[in-house]
Chains A and B, each alone.
Chain A
Amino acid sequence: MTPLLVAQIALTLIVFIALLHSAAGMVWVERRLAAALQQRLGPIRVGWQGLLQPFADVIKLMFKEELRPKAADAWLFALAPIISATCAFAAFAVVPFGGETTLLGWIPEGLRLQVADVNVAILVVFAIASMSVYGIVLAGWSSNSKYALLGGLRSSAQMISYELSYGTALASVLILGNSMSLTEIVNRQAGTWFGIVPRWNVFFLPFGFLAFAIYLIAGIAETNRAPFDFPEAEQELVAGYHTEYSSMSFALFFLAEYVNMVTVSAVATDLFLGGWNGPFAESIGWVWFLLKVGALLFFYVWMRWTLPRYRYDQLMRFGWKVLLPLSVVNLIATAAGVLYFEL
Chain B
Amino acid sequence: MNALLFYGFGATAVLASLLVIAQKNPIYSVLLLIASFGALSGLYVLLEAPFVAVIQIIVYAGAIMVLFLFVVMLLNAPHEDTEYDERVHPLLRPGPMRFGAALAIAFGIELVWALNRNGGEAGPFAGGAVSSVAAIGRSLFGPYAFPFEVTSVLILVAMIGAVVLARKEEP
Q: Are A130 and B133 in contact (CB under 8 A)?
A: no
Instruction: Across the A-B interface, give the 3 residue pairs with the lowest CB-CB distance, nearest first.
Output: A130-B62, A127-B57, A123-B54
Given that A131-B62, A180-B133 are known contacts, is A123 also in contact with B69, CB under 8 Å in the complex? Answer: no
Shortest Cβ distance from residue B19 to the other chain A in the assembled complex, whole angstroms: 13
- Report whether over half of chain B's contact residues are helix, strand or loop; otherwise say mixed: helix
Listed stretches A133-141, A211-219, A277-285, A309-317; interface member: A133-141
Q: Are B58 and A137 in contact (CB under 8 A)?
A: no
Q: In the bound complex, how far is the Cα of B57 from the Cα of A312, in angstroms?
A: 29
CB within 8 Å of B: which of A123-173? Answer: 123-124, 126-127, 130-131, 133-134, 137-138, 141, 156, 160
- A sample of 27 cross-chain residue pairs with beta-carbon separation below 8 angstroms, ordered by A number, consists of A73-B27, A76-B27, A118-B50, A119-B50, A120-B51, A123-B55, A123-B58, A124-B54, A126-B58, A127-B57, A127-B58, A127-B61, A130-B57, A130-B58, A130-B61, A130-B63, A131-B57, A134-B34, A134-B69, A137-B69, A137-B73, A138-B31, A141-B27, A141-B73, A156-B70, A160-B66, A180-B133
Q: Are B50 and A120 in contact (CB under 8 A)?
A: yes
Shortest Cβ distance from residue B143 to the other chain A in the assembled complex, whole angstroms: 22
* Residue ID in chain B nearest A157 by CB atoms: B70
Residue positions of B touching A, CB distance < 8 A: 27-28, 31, 34, 50-51, 54-55, 57-58, 61-63, 66, 69-70, 73, 133
Residue positions of A touching B, CB distance < 8 A: 73, 75-76, 118-120, 123-124, 126-127, 130-131, 133-134, 137-138, 141, 156, 160, 180
B28, B57, B58 — which one has the most chain A CB atoms within 10 A of its CB?
A: B58
* Residue ID in chain B nearest A133 by CB atoms: B66
Q: Are B54 and A120 in contact (CB under 8 A)?
A: yes
Residues of B within 8 A of A138 (CB): 31
Known contacts A76-B31, A130-B57, A156-B70; 6 further A-B pairs (Cβ under 8 A): A120-B133, A123-B54, A127-B54, A133-B62, A134-B34, A134-B69
Q: In the bound complex, how far is the Cα of B34 from the Cα of A126, in angstroms?
A: 17
Residues of B within 8 A of A180 (CB): 133
Shortest Cβ distance from residue B26 to the other chain A in the assembled complex, whole angstroms: 12
Residues of A within 8 A of B54 (CB): 120, 123-124, 126-127
* Residue ID in chain B nearest A126 by CB atoms: B58
Residues of A within 8 A of B28 (CB): 75
Residues of B within 8 A of A137 (CB): 66, 69-70, 73
Shortest Cβ distance from residue B37 to the other chain A in the assembled complex, whole angstroms: 10
Q: In the bound complex, how far is the Cα of B62 from the Cα of A126, in angstroms?
A: 10
Residues of A within 8 A of B62 (CB): 127, 130-131, 133
Residues of A within 8 A of B61 (CB): 127, 130-131
Residues of B within 8 A of A124 (CB): 54
Residues of B within 8 A of A156 (CB): 66, 70
Q: In the bound complex, how far is the Cα of B57 from the Cα of A118, in angstroms?
A: 15
Residues of A within 8 A of B66 (CB): 130, 133-134, 137, 156, 160
Residues of B within 8 A of A120 (CB): 50-51, 54, 133
Q: In the bound complex, how far is the Cα of B58 from the Cα of A73, in angstroms?
A: 27
* Residue ID in chain B nearest A123 by CB atoms: B54
Shortest Cβ distance from residue A216 to the other chain B in the assembled complex, whole angstroms: 21
Shortest Cβ distance from residue A277 to the other chain B in the assembled complex, whole angstroms: 25
Residues of A within 8 A of B58 (CB): 123, 126-127, 130
Q: In the bound complex, how far is the Cα of B31 from the Cα of A189, in angstroms?
A: 41
